[in-house]
Amino acid sequence: MSYCLTNYTIQCRDVASGKKGCFLFDTEHWQRTGEFLAISPVYADLDEFYREVPSDQRKPCYLERAHWAARDVMTEGAQS
């Protein structure tokens, strides 16, 4: 089981661009795939991220991702 406690990353890689940094991510995509998909620009560091992204967009959360669920989704997609 994996957990996320915020809706943003700290020095992770965005799956779409390949850029590493801090960014808001698509939480539903992460729960399905385990990949961090940026929904904001990717900032070089946390300081820049906090300066540029309004505090009302940076949110605490509690997300769980069961690894077996991700395998089931990938298997279903392959069978379609």
Q: Output the pTM of the full model.
A: 0.79
Residue 11, domain extent: 2-79
What DSSP element (H or E) covers 28? helix 27-33
* Distance of alpha carbon 70 from alpha carbon 67, whole angstroms: 5
DSSP E strands in the chain: the ranges are 2-6, 12-13, 20-21, 60-65
Q: Based on the structure, what is the number of domains in the chain?
A: 1
The string of pLDDT tens digits covering residues 55-80 is 999 999 898 887 655 454 444 444 44
